[in-house]
Structure 1
């Protein structure tokens, strides 16, 4: 028959805590935990709540900004596409009007495209001064992509080329008129013509020859530059047989030889 633990001799008493002690210890531990949690939230609850609120505001703000940004970019794209449709319909005044708002408050890219469209429309309507002004605005816009600024500079100069001093043209475009530059062909031809008008025949001929020898240039431009170089006494032909082949094939038997620039 089992005896009550309290009736056991002292040396046979259980050494571990009793069930009542375990329950009491758990209650004390839980109370301590609750007290620690209460103290923690009492001390840091306001700061944590504020941080969480800031996080929510930031997340909502980013979502709102991103949504508005996408909507605004979509609106700008639609305006440009609509303007291009007007250009296709030869409605240049309408095209210019459709992108007018982008010049004022569009993104740098949209603003630049809008100015190009307006400048092109102005040229089609015979408003050269207005076109030059718009191209110059693109050149001066430091937020515009650099390649578009360079292209605008070429368009600005070419729009009223005959009214400019050759020295002014050379100063403006010579930095672009170097082999390897993406606008070497367009800028180089304009600079070569300016040198020719200024009486610098040697420099003009050398530049035409450089363009003619550049295989990355369009063939129409190379052919034109080759002819100009030949007229100026500069040999721009590196491979005669290749040139003959490109311009209609090697002369057959009995055919007259092709006259080449000397």
Structure 2
């Protein structure tokens, strides 16, 4: 390589270096900002996770303490005093409170706690449907068969976590209203459902036999 070529290369390299430094002086703050945002975002995410975990642990400790009370009414009072940080936590508290109220013989209070969950749009849908189902099974004396049928049908839709249980309640309403044929058909459909539990399978089989039917053998469950 000639001296001229070497000199040209050196000049070219210097020009590139000068341009790079100029670009860094002009736009370097952007790179610094990106680094700060990335580090800050990671730190915020970790803080948020730790905060949520601590909040959940605090709620769990408070619930366990409340459930250690001597009788149902004391447990209801203790659960009532707990502040839940999230809609899901609030729903869990109300489900537990409803259970204790029912244990204390306060059916009206239990239904009120369950209705509060099912009516809260901020609560996850799974809690709302479970609460609505439990409230319906506790409110039979105050509702007509047709009203209960309409509400259980709304819970028996595909994807509902209480769908098969709602179908069982609809079969019981069929029996209550004297439609044995419809009850048998519904109970047999329950036996054939892939989501059936062993307990529900036993109840459905017993009901079919009690109604004079013959359970059809299935491979479900």
**TM-score (ref. length: structure 1):** 0.62
Q: Which ranges of structure 2 fall in alignment gaps of 5 or more residues?
A: none
1:87 is the counterpart of 2:67: yes
Q: CA RMSD in A?
A: 3.8
Task: Work out which of the residue numbers 236, 242, 245 in structure 1 matches 2:214.
Answer: 236
Q: CA deviation at 1:120?
A: 2.0
Greater relative CO, 1 or 2 (CA 8 Å, sep 6+)? 2
Counterpart-to-counterpart distance in 1, 2:23 and 2:33: 19
Counterpart-to-counterpart distance in 1, 2:159 and 2:56: 34
Alignment of 1:1-262 (within 5 A): 16-17=2-3, 28=11, 31-42=14-25, 44-45=26-27, 48-87=28-67, 89=69, 90=71, 91-93=74-76, 95-97=78-80, 100-102=82-84, 105-106=85-86, 108-142=87-121, 144-177=123-156, 183-211=162-190, 216-219=196-199, 221-233=200-212, 235-238=213-216
> Residues 93, 133 of structure 1: CA spacing in aligned structure 2 closer, same or farther, 3 A cutoff?
closer
Q: CA deviation at 1:69?
A: 3.2
> Residues 84, 163 of structure 1: CA spacing in aligned structure 2 closer, same or farther, 3 A cutoff?
farther
Q: Which ranges of structure 1 fall in alignment gaps of 5 or more residues?
A: 1-14, 240-262
Counterpart-to-counterpart distance in 1, 2:114 and 2:105: 15
Q: Give CA deviations for 1:153-195 in whole Å, capped at 9, x if unaligned.
A: 2111012222221111111112544899753553233222223
> Residues 88, 29 of structure 1: CA spacing in aligned structure 2 closer, same or farther, 3 A cutoff?
same
Instruction: Return the index of the structure with the highest Cα Rg.
Output: 1
Contact 1:213 1:236 in 2 (8 A): no
